[in-house]
């Protein structure tokens, strides 16, 4: 019996990186999956789950679009008859555009995907979970949302919002049995962080990636997926409204190399 045996989980951003690692891990632990991403690679994730003996359907769409969010919740119920876990993991970084070049439209898009997308997942997951009296909702924040030094202004603001969303939503659902928590990854090798890793490797500095945290290394998608498995399972039955940093210790101080303008 796996830790998620017989349960249904929705994972957004499942087309690669952390979402794909979590899809494979949750499936091994017994979950039936709805894998969501705007990239067509989400179909490959579902195929990988199926080849490993699990059950997964793939849906392609925009995590910041309310009609689509409602549709992936409804698909979980239609295919599996229940909904136990929703992980709002999809997000974008916005790149490294200097603050003076950022526009309201730039900010709006980052907030729409990273924060409003998480809000919509919480909203539509809760409409199913509250009547049944249980459920775990997980949101992907970032160490960038804890304090300065780990991301750009718009990205960091969006992830600070996700941390607050987990706290306020947990209290909105007082007495319902529905838990809402967040994970704050540090530097993880994914498609989003590919420019950082590519640049370091091109300069021959790969061994310095992650050197600012006490473990002096970067993280892997499966290390974030393991934290999500904890929050999705009954092992975390008394954890609610929290943000768990999985960052090698970076957020204990957030050291940063300053760059002169």
Where helices occur in 112-220 by DSSP H, the ranges are 117-132, 153-172, 194-202
Q: Is the pLDDT of residue 205 over 90?
A: no
Q: Residue 148: what pLDDT?
A: 84
Q: Which fold does the domain 8-192+220-246 belong to in CATH? A: Rossmann fold (3.40.50)
What pLDDT was estimated at residue 32?
98
Residues 88 and 68 sit within 8 Å (Cβ to Cβ): no
Taking the C-alpha atoms of residue 144 and residue 241, their distance in angstroms, rounded to an integer, is 18
Q: Per the residue annotation, which of 80, 155, 174, 218 is the catalytic one?
A: 155
pLDDT tens sequence across 221-257: 999 999 999 999 999 999 999 999 999 999 988 666 6
Q: Residue 87: which of 26, 3, 173 has the closest Cα?
A: 26
Q: Among 119, 42, 33, 49, which Cα is nearest to 82's? A: 33
Average pLDDT over residues 83-111: 95
Annotated domain spans of the chain: 8-192+220-246
Find how far residue 160's CA is from the centre of its chain. Answer: 14
Q: Where are the beta strands (DSSP E) in the chain?
A: 8-12, 32-37, 55-60, 85-88, 135-140, 178-185, 243-246
Is 47 within 8 Å of 35 (Cβ atoms)? no
Collapse the DSSP code of 8 into the 3-class scheme (helix H, G, I; strand E, B; otherwise coil) and give the result.
strand
Q: Is the pLDDT at 197 greater than 90, yes or no?
A: no
Q: Are 176 and 169 in contact (CB under 8 A)?
A: no
Active site annotation includes 155:
yes
In the three-class reduction of DSSP (H, G, I as helix; E, B as strand; rest coil), residue 39 is classed as coil
């Amino acid at each position: 019996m796996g830790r998620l045996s017989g349960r249904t989980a929705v994972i957004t951003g499942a087309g690669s990186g952390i979402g794909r690692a979590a899809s494979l891990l949750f499936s091994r632990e017994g979950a039936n999956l709805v894998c969501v991403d705007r990239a067509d690679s989400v179909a490959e994730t579902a195929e990988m789950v199926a080849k490993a003996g699990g059950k997964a359907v793939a849906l392609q769409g925009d995590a910041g679009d309310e009609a689509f969010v409602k549709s992936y919740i409804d698909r979980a119920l239609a295919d599996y008859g229940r909904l136990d876990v929703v992980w709002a993991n999809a997000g974008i970084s916005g790149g490294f555009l200097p603050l003076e070049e950022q526009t309201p439209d730039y900010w709006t898009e980052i907030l729409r995907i990273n924060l409003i997308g998480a809000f919509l997942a919480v909203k539509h997951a809760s409409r199913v979970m509250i009547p049944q009296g249980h459920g775990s909702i997980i949101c992907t924040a970032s160490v960038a949302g804890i304090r300065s030094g780990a991301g750009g202004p718009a990205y960091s603001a969006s992830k600070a919002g996700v941390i607050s969303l987990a706290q306020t939503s947990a209290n909105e659902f007082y007495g319902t049995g529905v838990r809402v928590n967040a994970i704050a990854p540090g530097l993880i090798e994914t498609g989003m962080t590919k420019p950082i890793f590519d640049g370091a490797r091109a300069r021959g500095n790969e061994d310095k990636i992650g050197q600012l945290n006490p473990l002096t290394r970067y993280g892997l998608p499966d290390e974030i997926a393991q934290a999500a498995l904890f929050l999705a399972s009954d092992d975390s039955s008394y954890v609610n409204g929290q943000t768990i940093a999985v960052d090698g210790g970076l957020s204990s101080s957030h050291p940063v190399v300053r760059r002169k303008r």
